[in-house]
Chains A and B, each alone.
Chain A
C-alpha cells in the first residue's frame, strides 16, 4: 500500500454518518495549503461519503482511499 506524508491523522473509528465527513471538514480547516490529512474510519459508508464530499467541495482533493482490517483510510489534501 502506498504511504502518504500526512500532516495530521483524524481517528473517527467507531463513529457513524455524518461524523466522519463533518470531522474531516473541521480538521482540514486547521491545515495549510498542500498538507494532507489522514482519516481513519470504520464506517463503510465513509468510502462513498468522503469521496463525494471531496469531489463536490472546493479546496480539497481526495488523494487515495485504502481498506484493510476493517479500517478505511482516506487521504485528503488541502488545495487552497
Chain B
C-alpha cells in the first residue's frame, strides 16, 4: 500500500491546513521584509573616555567619517571624554609626555611643572602646520552631519560641570543604559 505525502488523510487531525500554512508563510514574509527594511540604517556607537588632545581625535574623526558613509552615529562621552564636548575646555585640551615613551621628551623632564604646556604647544603647532582639522572644527562638522554627541550625566555631576557648559546640540541627561541600548543596536561599537 502506498500513500502520497499530500494525501489529506495522512495528516493527524491537528496538522495545519494548506490555507493556514499559506497564511503563516505570508506572515513570515512580511516579518522578514520588515526586519530587513529596518536593518538598512547602519549604526555606529562610540564610547569616548579620554580627554587628552591626542585621544580626542580618534572618536571625532571616526564619527564624522562614519556619518559620511551614511551611518547613524552616537558618541557617548564619559569621564575625561566629557572635556571634548565642553565648549571651553575642548579648546584647551592637553597632551603629556609622561608615560609616553614615543614622545621626544624623557619622563624625568616631562614630569617637571609646565612641561605638559610645552608638549601641548608642540603638538598644536604640528596640527596647525599640517592643516589638520581642529577639535572644534571636527565637532562642528560632526554636528552638521547629524552625529549625536551624548554627555554622561553621572560624570557631568562628578566633574561639577553644568549642562550649559557643552556645545549646543549635545545631549545630556543620559546614562550607561542609553549607551548599552545604542551599542546593542549598532553595527560597529568602539570604546576609545
- Among A3-11, A19-27, A65-73, the stretch that binds chain B is A19-27
Q: Which residue of A lies closest to B131 (CB)?
A: A14
Question: Measured between alpha carbons, how far is A22 from B138 in the docked complex, in Å?
Answer: 10
Interface size class of A (residues with CB under 8 A): 10 to 19
The number of A-B residue pairs with CB atoms under 8 Å apart is 40
From A14, A16, A57, A58, B68 is in contact (CB under 8 Å) with A57
Residues of B within 8 A of A16 (CB): 130-133
Instruction: Say how far A73's CB is from chain B's closest CB, in angstroms.
Output: 19
Residues of B within 8 A of A18 (CB): 61, 64-65, 68, 133, 138
From B61, B68, B130, B133, A25 is in contact (CB under 8 Å) with B68
Question: Measured between alpha carbons, how far is A25 from B66 in the docked complex, in Å?
Answer: 11
Known interface pairs A15-B133, A18-B61; 20 further A-B residue pairs with C-beta atoms within 8 A, sorted by A's residue number: A14-B131, A16-B130, A16-B131, A16-B132, A18-B68, A18-B133, A18-B138, A19-B141, A21-B68, A22-B64, A22-B141, A22-B145, A24-B68, A25-B67, A26-B68, A26-B144, A26-B145, A56-B69, A57-B69, A57-B70
Supply 23 A–B pairs (Cβ within 8 Å), ascending by A. A16-B130, A16-B131, A16-B133, A18-B61, A18-B64, A18-B65, A18-B138, A21-B65, A21-B68, A22-B67, A22-B68, A22-B145, A24-B68, A25-B69, A25-B145, A26-B144, A26-B145, A53-B65, A53-B69, A56-B69, A57-B68, A57-B69, A57-B70
Query: Which residues of A are at the interface with B, using a C-beta cutoff of 8 A?
Result: 14-19, 21-22, 24-26, 53, 56-58
